[in-house]
Chains A and B, each alone.
Chain A
Amino acid sequence: MNLIANANFDRSRPPRRIPLRDTEITLAHGSGGKAMRDLIHDLFVSTFDNPALSPLEDQARFNLADLMQLGDRLALTTDSYVIDPLFFPGGDIGSLAVNGTVNDLAVSGATPLYLTCSVILEEGLAVETLRQVAQSMQQAAIAAGVQIVTGDTKVVQRGAADKLFINTAGIGVIRREVSTSAAQLQPGDVVLVNGTLGDHGATIMLARDELALSTPIQSDCQPLNGLIAAILNVCPAVRAMRDATRGGLATVLNEFATSSQVGIRIQEVALPIRDEVNGVCELLGLDPLYLANEGKLVVVVPRSQAETVLAAMQSHPAGAQSRIIGEVITAPAGAVFLKTTFGTDRVIDLLVGDQLPRIC
């Protein structure tokens, strides 16, 4: 009979995936109930989809033996992203949140592996905005070869946060035989950078639309772990690496000089700075050396290795415009100098606060 035949009907169904219908984030999305579950499923789990995340336990779990294949130490880092505007030429808060943490791991000589993603959402944020950011995070994670494996979602009242804040923490495994540190620069060492300075800072200033300037400048937001792997392949004895984010090249070099108690002198003629970035800086009385970058590596290597490292950097896509920009000197300890094009030495000091535009 037909009925008996129907008894074999498969009653099991895939779990219901109801796409989120809300267009705005409400306090309900942070309440721990169904609304929050739907948000997490629809926006994060389905986007980041990977084996460590999908069990949806309260933590991601890793096999130690697998990690130990890659090196002998763990690196752990965390960073919060609060950028305004959320989207800008060359990136958005999502790609920034992935690349920033990937880069903080990679400069230790680590292979970045797993990231967390905690979001603080302001009530009223468009769900579509959050979806775009999550997709951008996943694209950035794929490009950097990492997985987003756990996360957290909080919603705060309108006005208690600015649209969307993201915190990402990350772990990576540090290669054996590699030990980079800001404290081990030696006189004679050579300073290199992987491309033009200040692009991100200038882009964000212009994206806030307060200046009514239009330029083709884009943020340099990119992962640096591939480039760093190429450097470490030819020179495991790298002294120090850092991504020059907030405070720019000037701040990184000051940290190096202070930690190692040496002087650093860079050459103005060698600094890669785009005309457009220089133009914005000339207009506002800002200094590109202090502008933020989001994909610029400052690396210090022994002098004998400088040319090998330069060649390795230039043959990687993230370092095509790499240059030697300066060197480590004996004294004065803790100071950074710029040799100007006409031969004078200018001190490049730490700033007290943000760079503020000058009026005349």
Chain B
Amino acid sequence: MKYVTEYRDPEKIQGVLQEITRLGEQLTTGKDRPVKLMEICGGHTHAIFKYGLEELLPPTIEMIHGPGCPVCIMPKGRLDDAIAIAEHPNVIFTTFGDAMRVPGSKHSLLQAKAKGADIRMVYSPLDALQIAKNHPDREVVFFAIGFETTAPSTALTVLQAESEGVPNFSLFCNHVLVVPALEALLSNPDLQLDGFIGPGHVSMVIGTEPYQAIASTYHKPLVVAGFEPLDLLQSVWMVLQQLAEERCEVENQYARFVQPHGNAVGLAAMQRVFEVRSAFEWRGLGDIPDSGLKMRPEYAQFDAEAKFILPHRQVADHKACACGDILKGVKKPWDCKVFGTACTPEHPIGACMVSSEGACAAYYKYGRFSLAKATPNPPLPALAK
């Protein structure tokens, strides 16, 4: 496929890997631990597992899977609020598909749907607006989740609802911000991290400027990366290169889409519709200051939090769940007591097991088998092209 296969070229990948291996050895000589790099974005975690990139990386490089899956970090209390809205008899609740299975304190949206709530899966907030126009007698609520990646499209949808005068449309706003979450992680003394792979899609919106604080205040290199295997490996190599040269900069590997100042139209729409919450709770990480978005009072007519009375309960994470430490890179999934036993993708307890982008779910799915024991077959007769 054009513009995709080029970034999966096995020969180029081998070339980058050789460089990574060389730098990895150089950087770990005399050290007691590998170089630890965190990819922040859930899309990157997904790609790393999908393409088996961890298997390619030398043992001197360890990837830590960060808190960048917007579905995973949604706290149970917010899910309960979403379900409470959805269970209103006159509401059509619209959501992206991957939020359907996330468990709240009692059940998930999928289970609420089975019990009779009118919950519909959409691919875009504009689909939700269309549903509102088709059902003027019902209140249509869109479950707005995601980082800065999805926030502009929900903001623009609100602006469109305003200009078209659709009174029965509202947002349940749960948008979160990347940089405050990173700063919260970095101010933790337990953290062992040498550098970051920055999120590509978020950066298409916010640009590369907002990461400067990570480089200057916390002295960690960050490279904004694309989502193909070659993008990710090249970005790892760029971070290692910075470490080897003792630089801490923000670099942009994904320049084919990411501009330093981001997307002005998207940012302006966000600015107009949303304001920063004083704090937002992240599953596994707790309250993080200035890390979430809410609707400005001028748009209260489109704000589900203003239209509905919500339970707003804080529900504590399970005691045995180690998601917080896993997200900080302090623990690995298999260090958690409930990993693979009480906590599985079928019955997730913690954030990291919820979505396929979560670190625990990915390890559970991809990390259980070893091919070492297999006796090799002779070559296949005809791998016909």
Contacts and interface: CB of A to CB of B under 8 A. Distances in A.
B127 A210 contact: yes
Interface string A246-285: 0000000000000000010001011000010011001011
A224 B98 CA distance: 35
Interface residues of B, number: 59
Contacts of B101: 352-353, 356
A285 to B, nearest CB: 7
Given A346-B366, A359-B150, A310 B56 contact: no
A188 B52 contact: no
Interface in A321-360: 323-324, 326-332, 335, 337, 340-347, 349, 352-353, 356-360
A285 B369 contact: no
Nearest to B68: A360
B10 A342 contact: yes
Contacts of A359: 70-71, 96-99, 145-146, 149-150
Interface string B36-55: 00000111001001111101
B78 interface: no
A270 B383 contact: yes
A7 interface: no
B188 interface: no
A249 to B, nearest CB: 16
B375 A187 contact: yes
Contacts of A190: 380-381
A353 B114 CA distance: 14
B10 A341 contact: yes
A326 B383 CA distance: 8
Given A306-B382, A331-B374, A342 B41 contact: no
B68 to A, nearest CB: 8
B335 to A, nearest CB: 21
Nearest to A337: B371
A188 B374 CA distance: 11
B158 to A, nearest CB: 18
A285 B41 CA distance: 14
Given A357-B98, A359-B98, A329 B8 contact: no
Nearest to A332: B369
Contacts of A326: 380
Interface residues of A, number: 46
Interface in B368-384: 368-371, 373-378, 380-384
Contacts of A341: 8, 10
Contacts of B70: 359-360
Contacts of A323: 384
Nearest to B50: A346
A226 B273 CA distance: 61
Interface string B86-115: 000000000011111100000000100000
Nearest to B2: A275
A345 B101 CA distance: 28
A324 B383 CA distance: 6
Question: Which 8 residue pairs spanning A and B have beta carbons closest together?
Answer: A344-B52, A356-B97, A342-B10, A331-B373, A359-B96, A357-B97, A332-B369, A331-B374
6 contacts: A324-B382, A332-B373, A342-B8, A343-B56, A356-B121, A357-B121
Given A282-B1, A303-B378, A332-B373, 13 more contacts: A187-B377, A269-B383, A278-B1, A303-B377, A306-B381, A341-B10, A342-B13, A343-B56, A344-B51, A346-B50, A346-B51, A357-B97, A358-B98
Interface of B: 1, 4, 8, 10, 13-14, 41-43, 46, 49-53, 55-56, 70-71, 96-101, 110, 121-123, 127, 145-147, 149-150, 201, 229, 345-346, 355-357, 365-366, 368-371, 373-378, 380-384
Interface of A: 187-188, 190, 210-211, 263, 267, 269-270, 275, 278-279, 282, 284-285, 303, 306-307, 310, 323-324, 326-332, 335, 337, 340-347, 349, 352-353, 356-360
